[in-house]
């Protein structure tokens, strides 16, 4: 049964793509963007999570493995659930980006498509574990009365979600104004397995290029050139003929005729249009089918009142109490995995919900900025017990391979959106350079250029096993004899900042003045005495000359700013932590 259902869905989707690519070709590349950048842009504009309705059947088709592959995996590990685990990874990635999801599945009254009476999204035996997993992750599972795409479009029209994630352009025809598609093959590039780069289509951008392709225009496009319910359409008309008819206003009269029961009069209007344009096409007596037009124009969806009542329940859902049991026994994820996957989501949600003036309350997390990854995301560390609502110490005996292992007090996590950190802990993020969030950029319809995409910057290519390093400022040790000068060591500013991580680094273009509560530590002295870490008085003339000698091109004295991003002194605010910072700064093997 599983093989048959997958084959039927495969045939259905490929047939859909063959037809709908006629429309996608007209719509162009859309906006190609990293989903992280899209989520960040939405949060900057609305100060709330990006909410997406997911066409569940499309996601299962994209992420489920062939049955033969699943059988081979289960032969080695009988308790493995690779299909659901594939979706688990994607959902956790999106939740960490402050995205809220609702999975929508097809209902029992879904119409036949291309004479295939299948309900792949309505198979409880196939989706039991998937539904349980999503429920424990706090992700709603909603069954539509008929087509999932139409239900998703209705959710967006009501403002319950912000976008619809599907591969079916029917969602635009059903009234969705923002549709997200996977971007497995960038324009002019090779297919990739990157599931976090997407194409976003906005109806307002579509109508700027094709004013006739509004919702009614897409209904006419499907009726004349072929769609899910009638793959042929009107023979010998094609996409161009459908667009020409839409320009003449036949799309709006078609929808009104379908609602009023006057399709016969509209058919005569269509025949007159074809004659006037010199076409020899004759409209058959049985065209168009009233049932097909109704399915396109007025699909069956849930009542507005029902969806409105579901909205607060959906967005107030959180992790279930049985989540750790599920991750351990169904997906073989132990306590360290649980911490790395779930704790960042708790942190992100808490920071994102911070109201203006309440930023100081987030100091309980003791968040430290570790590094920036040039993709509008950062790596941070925080106190685990302040973030998690579960008592992790009680989970050690059952959820760790080493029964003596204890949860770490401080954890480091990656890929936290900078905009979330700047919203919740602005003081910590003061010194982090903010990258501009990509705005909307319309893709071109007929050209395949990689420049047509709007995406966040990518890391430069790395060669060999060498790690990419940031620009350095060399600190040269002064010595009594020239032999010691030859043996001077180099200390990168990035290493210094990772050791003294209490305050974010100052911007490269303008150095903060030293306040009364600040003390400057000498990092250029070569003396081994303890007093070199004592606060300095203003630079003496002898010391100015010494610094000019060793750093003629890097450091400007008398309060000047550094010409490079790095600086040869560190400013530490607060006298109460001075002794702790001094002890922390002592690195074995490095002489100052």
Strand partners, 518: 573
At 310, is the pLDDT very low, low, confident or very high (cuts 50, 70, 90)? very high
Task: Tell me the CA end-to-end span of the chain in Å, nearest whole number.
Answer: 72
Give the pLDDT confidence score for residue 148 in this predicted structure. 95
302 lies in a domain? no
Q: Say whether both 348 and 365 belong to one domain.
A: yes
Torsion of CA 554, 555, 560, 564, to 10 degrees: 30
Residue 23 sits in the same domain as residue 149 = yes
Residue with tokens 């620009």: 471
Residue 292 lies in a domain: yes
Looking at the fold, whether 157 and 286 belong to one and the same domain comes out as no
Residue at 447 is within a domain: no
Q: Which of 64-73, 397-406, 430-439, 515-524 is predicted most confidently?
A: 64-73
The pLDDT value given to residue 78: 81
pLDDT for residue 127 is more than 70: yes
Residue 452 is predicted with a pLDDT of 37
Domain count of the fold of the chain: 4
Q: Does residue 44 belong to any structural domain of this protein?
A: yes
265, 130: one domain: no
CA–CA distance, 140 with 592 (Å, rounded to integer): 58
If asked whether residues 417 and 392 sit together in one domain, one would say yes
Q: 324 lies in a domain?
A: no
Q: Is the pLDDT of residue 197 over 70?
A: yes
Note the pTM of the prediction, 2 decimals. Answer: 0.71
CA distances from 568 to 491, 524, 543 (A): 10, 7, 14
d(CA 30, CA 267): 34
Q: How far apart are CA 572 and CA 495, in angstroms?
A: 16
| Residue 389 and residue 281 share a domain | no
289 phi and psi, to 5 degrees? -70, 120
pLDDT band at 435 (very low <50, low <70, confident <90, very high): low
Domain-located, residue 566: yes
Say if residue 203 is in the same domain as residue 219: no
Range of 362-371, 384-393, 512-521 with top mean pLDDT: 362-371
DSSP letter at 347? H
Q: Does 60 reside within a domain?
A: yes
* Domain around 225: 215-297
Confidence of residue 274 (pLDDT cuts 50, 70, 90): very high
Q: Do 65 and 195 share a domain, yes or no?
A: yes
pLDDT tens-digit profile of 388-413?
878 777 676 666 655 556 678 899 99
User: Quick one: what percent of the chain has pLDDT higher than 90?
Assistant: 45
Same domain? 345 vs 225? no
Q: Are residues 182 and 276 in the same domain?
A: no
Q: In what order do the strands lie in the sheet with 141-143?
A: 31-34, 197-202, 178-182, 163-165, 50-55, 99-105, 141-143
Establish how many alpha carbons lie within 13 A of residue 94's alpha carbon, considering only the half-sphere containing its beta carbon: 26
Does residue 445 form part of some domain?
no
Q: Could you tell me if 52 and 24 lie in one domain?
A: yes
Three state DSSP letters for 230-275: CCCCCCCCHHHHHHHHHHCCHHHHHHHHHHHCCHHHHHHHHHHHHH
* Same domain for 153 and 7: yes
Return phi, psi of residue 376, to 5°.
Answer: 60, 25
Confidence of residue 436 (pLDDT cuts 50, 70, 90): low
């Amino acid at each position: 049964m599983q093989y048959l259902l997958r084959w039927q869905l495969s045939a259905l989707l490929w047939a859909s793509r063959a037809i709908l690519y006629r429309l996608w070709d007209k719509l162009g590349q859309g906006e190609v963007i990293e989903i992280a950048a899209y989520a960040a842009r939405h949060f900057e504009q609305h100060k709330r999570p990006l909410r997406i309705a997911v066409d569940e059947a499309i996601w299962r088709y994209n992420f489920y493995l062939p049955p033969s592959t699943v059988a081979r995996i289960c032969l080695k590990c009988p308790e493995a659930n690779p299909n659901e685990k594939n979706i688990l990874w994607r959902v956790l990635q999106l939740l960490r980006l402050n995205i809220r999801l609702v999975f929508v599945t097809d209902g029992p009254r879904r119409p036949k498509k291309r004479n295939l009476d299948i309900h792949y999204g309505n198979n409880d035996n196939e989706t039991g574990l998937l539904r349980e997993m999503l429920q424990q992750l706090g992700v709603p599972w909603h069954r539509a009365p008929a087509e999932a795409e139409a239900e998703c479009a209705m959710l967006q029209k009501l403002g319950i979600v912000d976008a619809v994630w599907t591969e079916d352009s029917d969602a635009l025809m059903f009234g969705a104004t923002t549709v997200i598609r996977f971007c497995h093959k960038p324009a002019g590039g090779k297919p990739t397995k990157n599931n976090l780069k997407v194409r976003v289509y906005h109806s307002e951008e579509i109508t700027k290029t094709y004013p006739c392709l509004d919702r009614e225009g897409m209904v006419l496009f499907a009726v004349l050139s072929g769609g899910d319910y009638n793959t042929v359409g009107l023979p010998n008309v094609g996409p161009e003929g459908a667009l020409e008819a839409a320009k003449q206003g036949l799309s709006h009269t078609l929808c009104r005729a379908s609602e009023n029961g006057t399709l016969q009069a509209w058919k005569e209007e269509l025949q007159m249009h074809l004659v006037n344009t010199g076409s020899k096409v004759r409209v058959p007596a049985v065209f168009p089918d009233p049932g097909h037009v109704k399915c396109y124009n007025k699909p069956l969806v849930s009542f507005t009142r029902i969806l409105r009542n579901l909205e607060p329940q959906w967005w107030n859902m959180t992790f279930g109490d049985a989540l750790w049991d599920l991750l351990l026994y169904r997906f073989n994820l132990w306590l360290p995995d649980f911490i790395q996957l779930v704790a960042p989501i708790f942190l992100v949600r808490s920071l994102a919900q911070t109201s203006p003036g309440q930023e100081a309350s987030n100091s309980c997390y003791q968040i430290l900025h570790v590094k920036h990854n040039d993709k509008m995301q950062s790596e941070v560390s925080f106190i685990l017990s302040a973030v998690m609502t579960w008592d992790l110490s009680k989970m050690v005996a059952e959820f760790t391979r080493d029964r003596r292992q204890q949860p770490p007090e401080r954890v480091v996590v990656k890929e936290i959106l900078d905009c979330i950190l700047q919203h919740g802990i602005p003081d910590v993020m003061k010194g982090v350079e903010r990258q501009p969030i990509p705005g909307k950029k319309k893709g071109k319809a007929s050209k395949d250029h990689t420049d047509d995409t709007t995406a966040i910057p990518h890391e430069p290519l790395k060669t060999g096993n060498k790690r990419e390093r940031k620009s350095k400022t060399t600190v040269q040790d002064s010595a009594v004899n020239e032999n010691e000068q030859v043996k001077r060591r180099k200390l990168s500013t990035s290493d210094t900042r990772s050791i003294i991580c209490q305050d974010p680094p100052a911007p490269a273009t303008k150095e903060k003045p030293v306040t009364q509560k600040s003390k400057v530590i000498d990092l250029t002295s070569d003396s081994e005495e303890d007093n070199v870490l004592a606060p300095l008085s203003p630079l003496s003339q002898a010391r100015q000359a010494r610094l000019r000698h060793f750093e003629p091109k890097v450091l400007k004295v008398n309060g000047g700013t550094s010409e490079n991003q790095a600086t040869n002194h560190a400013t530490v605010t607060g006298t109460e932590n001075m002794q702790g910072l001094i002890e922390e700064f002592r690195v074995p093997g490095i002489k100052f």
